[in-house]
Amino acid sequence: MFKYNVRGENIEVTEPIRDYVEKKVSKVEKYFPESTEATAHVNLKVYTEKTAKVEVTIPLPNLVLRAEETSPDLYASIDLVVDKLERQIRKYKTKINRKHREAVPTGEVFTAGTEAEADITNDNDFDIVRTKRVSLKPMDSEEAVLQMDMLGHNFFIFEDAETEATSIVYRRSDGKYGLIETE
């Protein structure tokens, strides 16, 4: 079901490390239908201060899972990041299913979502160094906030299911959320 792309920075990805990553990350596969195919992108980084960072991104057809963890032990970081992914999935699934319990059967709800992110970075000269195209899928603002949190971003662009207008949710400096609606 999942294919694995395991890369290492300042570390050689040995067969035992690759096997451990695949074994642990495959635990999240149980939350998806068997027909789901995705590539799990795993980045392993070891720093000079003897810490290991593990980043996992799993772009699914209607959802993007992303988590990262840093600890003194590489294997512990892998365990922690998988735990974080499972918590994200359960939280997302529970909220979506609770909201849409009567409208859509439970098995179908979890795969409903979208990745809609714009990652544009500007420097002082206002040179655009990265452009990303996104496809906006209809959802409500609550689901957009869930998607934003799961991606670990500070904003999320989506199509409002009621108004069919493009909207943006964002994380405010006070930790609460804001909504920008277009006319």
CB-facing half-sphere around the CA of 159: CA atoms within 13 A: 9
Spatial distance between the Cα atoms of 31 and 175, rounded to a whole number of angstroms: 29
Beta bridge partners of 6: 42
Give every CB contact of residue 5 below 8 A, 6+ residues apart in sequence.
Answer: 39, 40, 41, 42
Does residue 129 lie within any of the structural domains? yes
82 and 136 together in one domain: no
Q: What is the pLDDT of residue 39?
A: 81
Does residue 143 lie within any of the structural domains? yes
96 and 40 together in one domain: yes
Does residue 10 lie within any of the structural domains? yes
144 and 58 together in one domain: no
Chain-centre distance of CA 5, in angstroms? 16
- Low-confidence residues of the chain, pLDDT below 50? 104, 106-109, 111-124
Domain count across the chain: 2
Looking at 100, 124, 150, the residue that finishes a domain is: 100
95 and 127 together in one domain: no
For 35, the domain range is: 2-100
Q: What is the pLDDT of residue 110?
A: 52
Q: What is the pLDDT of residue 179?
A: 92
Chain-centre distance of CA 180, in angstroms? 22
Q: What is the pLDDT of residue 122?
A: 36
CATH code assigned at 169: 3.30.505.50
63 and 130 together in one domain: no
Looking at 73, 100, 127, the residue that finishes a domain is: 100
Q: What is the pLDDT of residue 32?
A: 77
7 and 52 together in one domain: yes
